[in-house]
Amino acid sequence: MGGTNWSPDGNYLIANSGGGIYKLVLKPDGMVEPQRLAVPANFQCNNDKAISPDGKKIAFSATVPPHKGSQVFLADADGSNVKLVAPESPSYFHGWSPDNKTLAFVAQRNGSGQFDIYSMPAEGAQRSSSRPIFTMTTARTIRQTTSGSTSTPIDPARKRSGVSPSMALVPTMRRPRWL
């Protein structure tokens, strides 16, 4: 089992093993009861997954043959009703907004060779609705225009997208070695 995440209520964990996602119910005696989620068996799920803050949905990354790269999916918390939300690859899920309305993921687009951070609406997400919220161009701009201060926004347009100069502390976004 790997890539373990707590449920929002703290009553169980989710983890992956052998391409599947499992709910690990924590019993009063300290034992764990694994329950495979209803994500189809042909999905090769990776470590990128999380239950929504309200506990109703799960977002995750997986490769589904014959596709050769990771994509982002949304399903009910039990793994049923899977919906592809980021069809371009590679795309790796990274998190939920606290209000359950937005998904964040990293992706390579347009042959750039770099990973940028994207966001999209969780419900009704469509290919055209994802947009980069942090790019390596933004990181370079922030690094070049900050003088040690991380409290003053550099670019008001980027601030509205959720980027602050403190993100300049992210050195470079390259594909992690384990992917």
Residues in the chain: 179
Kindly tell me if the per-residue pLDDT of 24 is higher than 90. Answer: yes
| Predicted local distance difference test score (pLDDT) of residue 151 | 31
Which amino acid type is present at position 10?
A: G
CA angle 84, 85, 91 (to 5 degrees): 100
Q: Which residues contact 139 (CB under 8 A, 6 or more apart)?
A: 167, 168, 170, 172, 173
Q: CATH number of the domain at 2-134, please?
A: 2.120.10.30
Whole-structure pTM value: 0.71
Task: Work out whether strand 83-86 and strand 131-134 pair parallel, antiparallel, or are unpaired.
Answer: unpaired
Burial of 35 (0-12, 13-18, 19+ CB in 10 A): middle
Q: Would you state the pLDDT for residue 135?
A: 57
Write down the domain spans for the chain.
2-134, 135-179
- pLDDT given at position 4: 87
Taking only the tens place, the pLDDT of each residue in 46-102 is 989 999 999 999 999 999 988 889 999 999 999 999 999 988 889 999 999 999 999
Give the other-Cβ count within 10 Å of 138's Cβ.
Answer: 21
The token pair that represents 58 in the structure block: 């799960």
* C-alpha closest to that of 49 among 72, 67, 69, 65: 72
